[in-house]
Structure 1
Amino acid sequence: MSARASRDPTADHATVVTSQKVREGRAEEYQRWQDRTNTAASEFDGFMAAEVYPPGAGDPHEWVAVFRFSGVDHLTAWLDSGRRRELLDEARELFEGPPSLEVLRGGSPADQAAETVTAVISHEVRPGREQQFLQWQTKALKAQEKMPGYMGSELFKPVEDVQKHWVVVFRFDSRKHLDDWLESDTRRALLQEGDAYFSSYDVRTVGSAFSGWFRFDSGPGGGVPPNWKQAMSVLLALYPTVMVLTLTLGHELDTLKVPVYLGLFLSNILSVSALTWLLMPLVNRALAFWLVPARAGGRRVHVVGALLVVLGYLLCLAVFGLITHALLPH
């Protein structure tokens, strides 16, 4: 097999992880600004995707934005562009300080389950200690692998003229398991040992495969709901959406003899659009008493909310069961 044929197609992919501390009470303005920024980035060559993660439990004001490009050159073109500088100048009043960013070259996308959370840790390695740092990182990895919920990790070397830090990305299957590792005695001992090899490090956590559909205020009354609630809520909106499209658009596409792959693509566009701009905002408002962590106090609220969602499932099944029974030939 030739070198070209065996080459990893993701080797040149580049990702920038941007961390921004938004001033209290400015979260909605920031989200509107971030939407414009994502749109601006999407107009640059090599753009692949953009993701925004609301604050986690560690810092109620720190938002993380992730931009993915097909190569480092394309990514740096965006980072150094006049358009991005204009957007940063426009948003200066929204942030407590300048945003920090880490550039990751290569790496493979994670298989994101609903509960997956990711930690991005950048290290400023002391000059001449790179080899010792790598040995220390291998030791830390072996310790991580023994922790419950560990799902994998990647090490990213500095990118010349772009990124000076060494960056480690590791994933766990839940926020609890990630926190167990971050707060463990084993990790504290490793960090003490690592002081000889790096002068500073910074930890950022991103997670929740559905975060874009759950944008509650980041102040004292807001936060991000647990992933199991997000998954239940998405299913409540997704099932009737798919059924309605199947019973309406699906029939028309079959009549027009549209190829299955194209019909499925069109259906996905409509279902995702309906969820993002119509149904999930409605679900969020209706279930805010259960979804917003600050409001969902006590076991009774958790149980009542979950029962209401299950009741919604049963109602949908009953309604669509009757519809399909009436439509299908006997």
Structure 2
Amino acid sequence: MRGKLLDEVRPLLEEPAALEILAGETPARDTVTVVMSHSVRPGRERDYLRWQDRARRAQERFPGFLGYEGFEPVAGIQERWVVVFRFDTREHLDGWLESDTRRKLLEEGRGYFLDYDMRTIKSAFSGWFGFGGETGQGPPPNWKQAMSVLLALYPTVMVLNLTLSPALTAAHLPGYLVLFIGNVASVAALTWLLMPLVNRIFASWLLPGRAVSVSTSVAGALVMVLCFALFVAVFGLITG
């Protein structure tokens, strides 16, 4: 399949194709990523690219800047121009977003694009972890967040499967509706009950400002694993 695609595209290339494989390291800490898309004015594409290059050079001079990527439109798939850039903390990102340098660049750029959309991505489960305002260091690492969510999610799903789902099925509701109601109940339980509880219990392990030593991280992870094993054993006995 790939060979056929290469044969098809070869007449469109000015030079022989070269394969470049880039391997990057996973960031050692959580970062803040911004995805911006622009509707570029027809005929101003080259001006827009030069403007984006000036914006990138300006970003590089700001503290915490980690990287920049630009993507051109793909006909029939992505009609807008997309830019992705990263900063190491929300504070450093805000420093760029609120700067006079960026404001002047935006005023200039309005001659090249019709509108733009900006989305900020912080972490996998940031809505369930509210530690950023307390420590100024962002949310916990994603692997700790994932373990915490699993700790709350597994018993929630099991309890709902043993109680709510049979009751809904007995009421002759269709399976897809039973699943939807169960998902609503589990998300509500996680958001307003169980995740706040997990955050309080494991605060010393989750908070980035406190859980800095390897021994603390390992100890917390072992406690999590023991909790997983306990839940599995308990529900195994209940359903056995």
TM over 0.5: yes
Q: Equivalent residue for 2:24?
A: none
Matched, 1:275 2:190: yes
Deviations 1:76-120 (A, max 9, x none): xxxxxxxxxxxxxxxxxxxxxxxxxxxxxxxxxxxxxxx996323
- For the residues of structure 1 that align with 2:171 and 2:149, how far apart are their CA atoms? 31
- What displacement does 1:136 show? 7.4
Tell me the matched-pair count: 167
The percentage of counterpart residues that share the same residue type is 58
Match for 1:233 among 148, 164, 172?
148
Q: Equivalent residue for 1:315?
A: 230
Unpaired runs of 5+ in structure 1? 1-57, 59-114, 141-149, 156-165, 172-177, 181-194, 326-330
User: Under a length normalisation based on structure 1, what TM-score does the superposition of the two structures give?
Assistant: 0.42
Say whether the 8 Å CA contact 1:116–1:209 is kept in structure 2. no
Q: Which has the larger radius of gyration?
A: 2
Cα 1:151–1:277 change in 2 (3 A) is: farther
Match for 1:200 among 92, 105, 121?
105
Say whether the 8 Å CA contact 1:120–1:167 is kept in structure 2. no
Cα 1:217–1:211 change in 2 (3 A) is: closer
Following TM superposition, the consecutive aligned residue runs of length 4 or more in structure 1 with deviations greater than 4 angstroms are 135-138, 150-155
Say whether the 8 Å CA contact 1:154–1:170 is kept in structure 2. no
- What displacement does 1:211 show? 1.2
Q: Which has the higher strand share?
A: 1
Equivalent position SS for 2:138: coil
Q: Equivalent residue for 2:159?
A: 244
- For the residues of structure 1 that align with 2:169 and 2:36, how far apart are their CA atoms? 50
RMSD: 4.1
Q: Equivalent residue for 1:29?
A: none
Cα 1:275–1:137 change in 2 (3 A) is: same
Cα 1:282–1:136 change in 2 (3 A) is: same
Q: Which has the higher helix share?
A: 2
- What displacement does 1:235 show? 0.8
Deviations 1:30-82 (A, max 9, x none): xxxxxxxxxxxxxxxxxxxxxxxxxxxx9xxxxxxxxxxxxxxxxxxxxxxxx
Q: Which amino acid aligns with 1:274?
A: A
Match for 2:202 among 272, 284, 287?
287
User: Under a length normalisation based on structure 2, what TM-score does the superposition of the two structures give?
Assistant: 0.57
Unpaired runs of 5+ in structure 2? 1-28, 56-67, 74-79, 89-100, 107-117
- For the residues of structure 2 that align with 1:257 and 1:129, how far apart are their CA atoms? 60
Q: Equivalent residue for 1:258?
A: 173
Q: Give 1:2-41 correspondences, 5 Å limit.
A: none
